[in-house]
Chain A
Amino acid sequence: MFAYIIRRVLYAIPILIGVNLITFMLFFMLNSPDDMARAQLGAKQTTPAMITAWKAEKGYDKPLFYNEKALGIEKVTDTLFVQESLKLFAFDFGRSDANRDIGREIRERMGPSLSIALPTFLIALVTNISLALLLVLFRGSMLDLSMMVAAVMIMSVSGLFYIILGQVLFSKLWHWVPISGYAHGWEGVKFILLPVFIGVFAGLGSGVRWYRAIFLEQINQDYVRTARAKGLSEIRVLFTHVLRNGMLPILTGVVVIIPSLFMGSLIMESFFGIPGLGSYTIDAINAQDFAIVKAMVFLGSVLYIVGLILTDISYTLFDPRVTL
């Protein structure tokens, strides 16, 4: 088990190097340090001397992949790519264009992101699974059919409509909750109610369909017939047998996204004015701040890979047949 985790972590390193390579190519090969300098210094009156000075100051004056002037191993290591990657691996994200420490900003913004993403995730998980179990209990009935039709309809609406409609109905017309904003602690509950509700509702369609399919696959298995033959009630069968056996496929889909909850939701946060990582990313994209986007790409990949490793570990905990 322990050896396995070590191996997985080591396997993650080449993937992260690959991620770095992709972002590096996107940001540096097409948008070269010279362009960055020009953009930073302003388009007018930039002399080559100023650009060189700016590059030297920011450490961008090295070659991209291969340094001919250096000696030995430094031919490869004393380059922009290796330098930038090493900084990222140490979680040193540098400074944004507005000259603020990106690492600190990320740490500060994780809390607000989680305060939306975590409740949404948990409530959605519970509602989706219970609704799916309900539908499986009444499978083939009018309830099942009408709920499935509703699920397809919910799925077919863009999330943006739910947000806009929710804000208009609950905030503008009925004044139940503030339209947007954020506060720390218990004060903030009124701000997160609407985004969480909308987040849960928007995911209801695809969620219920997915869990229902998982449970329906279980219900045709032999052990369910055995359980029924023992005389167990249908509810008992569903909750103790089908639900537990359905856990394994559910885990695959669910555990992998848990670490990514830190990243928050891009759309939700910017609509509701939550100072989380999602709105941070959107602002960075709109301001074309490459340093922040690069940091978020790296962070997102790290969290996703952590999610994959956690999925494997959770398998061993829930399914004794799996050994790592």
Chain B
Amino acid sequence: MTLHLLLTDILVWVLVLLFVLLGWRMGRSVQIRRTWHRIFRSKVAMASAVILLFYILFALLDSVHFRVDNANEKNALREGEIVSLLDLGMLHRKHYSERTYSAPFALREYTKSTVVDEQGRARQRYLPLCYVKDGDYIRQSVLGAGLGLLIALGFILVHWVWRRKREEETVLPWLSAYITFALLFMLFGCMYVMSFSYHVLGTDKVGGDVLYASLKSIRTGVLIGTLTTLVTLPLAVVLGVSAGYFRGWVDDVIQYLYTTLSSIPGVLLIAAGVLTMQVVMDQYADWFASTLERSDLRLLFLIVILGVTSWTSLCRMVRAETLRIAKMDYVTAARAFGVGKMRIMLRHIVPNLMHIILISVALDFSGLVLAEAVLSYVGVGVDPTMYSWGNMINQARLEMAREPMVWWSLFASFIFMFILVLAANLFSDRVQHVLDPRNVS
């Protein structure tokens, strides 16, 4: 197997690197450390941060891709296929798909099919599923949960010892983080162990495992939520700060730019962008070696389009705040000392905009995850072949009209999305509460 990073993989790891660098740099400032301490002093913030990290972990596992060179019968891979670390962990559910719908934990298919028996008569039968083993599910779930708990306890112990060693006086509610962490591990351990014998969340129309699809969708959702900021932040901050600092014609041009962009209804602008992109991609279909690379490029384009259409509100806020800061005495003093314009902007203005930027990043994340679903429904979202909650919902819409209903795809995407968005909303609430200067009292 050789490492084969997709374009979005590279960007994700660049983003991780940037975050680590930024965290390391900001961690040296006592003031910033204190702010983060205040954010995490809430139990809810701690718990939701753990959930977010859990999702991000899955997204990262799914962002290391390999090209298969040594395909054989035993490892169930195909030559030249591109798989991620997550796929390798879920191989038992990646390729072995059933024929059609089956309910969670079912041993037989959901609908009857016609079979011809020995006497040559056609009968309607619920056919047995191919890749399930009936076993003792209580034992298996206890085993899985126990295993998860054990691993979680191991991590917690290491962290606890490390904290004791540093002898740091902490006020953070670590207990709630530990409990969430252990619960998540138990839940996942339980599902993972059971997934070897059952389709834990059922199968979809073509027999694909829904749990696998939901886990794969995490990457799409998290990437859209995070990578978009890579596009928005530079645009919003550079333009906003220059408009607020230079004033005059620069301000006029930038204001004109964002008023124009924001006056176009968001979904329509995104739709127009994606339609155009589709036309271009159809014209140059031979650019892409595989459907995976094609859908990956489409995801990247979608992220860029989302970023280009959503920087305006942050830019407006950054501009207003820069106008305010630029009038303050310390900026005047810096200017009197002969500090250059670039330096004033970088050292004296941008650091003081951090709270606005952080609030907006945190708030945008959940909105973008939700937007992905709507865009997929409209037909301008990610590639239809890509795993995403939007595509799952889109399919499930037709399944709900069936008799009897096929509810598990919708249920799975609902739960996976709801937990992520809820955690993101709760966390961003806390960030906003702590960082918003209006809440100082």
CB–CB B279/A160 < 8 A: no
Instruction: Please report the C-alpha to C-alpha distance between residue A304 and residue B404 in the assembled complex, in whole angstroms.
Output: 44
Tell me the nearest residue of chain B to A168, going by C-beta: B400
CB–CB B269/A297 < 8 A: yes
Q: A155-B425, A158-B374, A288-B275 are in contact. Are A300 and B417 (CB under 8 A)?
A: no
With an 8 A cutoff between CB atoms, is B238 at the interface? no
Interface residues of A in 50-75 (CB under 8 A from B): none
Interface string of A141-185 (1 = CB under 8 A from B): 000000000001101111111001001100010000000000000
CB–CB B418/A157 < 8 A: yes
CB–CB A301/B264 < 8 A: yes
Residues of chain B with a CB closer than 8 A to A286's CB: 379
Tell me the nearest residue of chain B to A29, going by C-beta: B276
CB–CB A160/B374 < 8 A: yes
Residues of chain A with a CB closer than 8 A to B410's CB: 161, 164
Tell me the nearest residue of chain B to A39, going by C-beta: B279
Interface size on B, residues (CB 8 A): 46
With an 8 A cutoff between CB atoms, is B422 at the interface? yes
Interface residues of B in 409-424 (CB under 8 A from A): 410, 414, 417-418, 421-422
With an 8 A cutoff between CB atoms, is B177 at the interface? no
CB–CB B374/A285 < 8 A: no
Q: Which of B56-64, B203-211, B255-263, B336-344 contacts A (4 or more CB under 8 A)?
A: B255-263
**Which of B259, B265, B397, B401 is within 8 Å of A300, CB to CB?**
B265
CB–CB B276/A27 < 8 A: yes
Instruction: Please report the C-alpha to C-alpha distance between residue A127 and residue B312 in the assembled complex, in whole angstroms.
Output: 30
Q: Which of A117-125, A188-196, A239-247, A259-267 contacts B (4 or more CB under 8 A)?
A: A259-267
Residues of chain B with a CB closer than 8 A to A23's CB: 264, 272
Instruction: Please report the C-alpha to C-alpha distance between residue A88 and residue B273 in the assembled complex, in whole angstroms.
Output: 20
Residues of chain A with a CB closer than 8 A to B257's CB: 18
CB–CB B374/A297 < 8 A: no
Q: A14-B256, A22-B264 are in contact. Are A290 and B275 (CB under 8 A)?
A: yes
What distance in Å separates the Cβ of B283 from its nearest Cβ neighbour in chain A? 8
Instruction: Please report the C-alpha to C-alpha distance between residue A296 and residue B267 in the assembled complex, in whole angstroms.
Output: 11
CB–CB B418/A156 < 8 A: yes
CB–CB A305/B267 < 8 A: no
Interface residues of B in 387-438 (CB under 8 A from A): 389, 393, 396-397, 400-401, 405, 410, 414, 417-418, 421-422, 425-426, 429, 438
Residues of chain A with a CB closer than 8 A to B405's CB: 168
**Which of B279, B373, B417 is within 8 Å of A31, CB to CB?**
B279
With an 8 A cutoff between CB atoms, is B268 at the interface? yes
What distance in Å separates the Cβ of A9 from its nearest Cβ neighbour in chain B? 14
Tell me the nearest residue of chain A to B371, going by C-beta: A158
CB–CB A158/B393 < 8 A: yes
CB–CB B418/A304 < 8 A: no
CB–CB A304/B377 < 8 A: no
CB–CB A260/B263 < 8 A: no
CB–CB A156/B422 < 8 A: yes
With an 8 A cutoff between CB atoms, is A26 at the interface? yes
With an 8 A cutoff between CB atoms, is A324 at the interface? no
What distance in Å separates the Cβ of B220 from its nearest Cβ neighbour in chain A? 14
What distance in Å separates the Cβ of A39 from its nearest Cβ neighbour in chain B? 9
CB–CB B256/A297 < 8 A: no
With an 8 A cutoff between CB atoms, is A101 at the interface? no
Tell me the nearest residue of chain B to A287, going by C-beta: B379
Interface residues of B in 244-291 (CB under 8 A from A): 256-257, 259-265, 267-269, 271-273, 275-276, 278-280, 283
What distance in Å separates the Cβ of B152 from its nearest Cβ neighbour in chain A? 25
Residues of chain B with a CB closer than 8 A to A288's CB: 275, 278-279
Residues of chain B with a CB closer than 8 A to A308's CB: 263
Residues of chain A with a CB closer than 8 A to B380's CB: 285
**11 more A-B contacts (CB under 8 A) besides A156-B418, A158-B373, A297-B265?**
A155-B366, A155-B421, A156-B421, A157-B421, A158-B417, A160-B374, A160-B377, A267-B377, A281-B268, A293-B268, A296-B265
Nearest 3 A-B pairs (CB), nearest first?
A: A18-B260, A300-B265, A156-B422
Listed A/B pairs (6) with beta-carbon separation below 8 Å: A19-B264, A26-B273, A164-B410, A263-B265, A266-B267, A304-B262
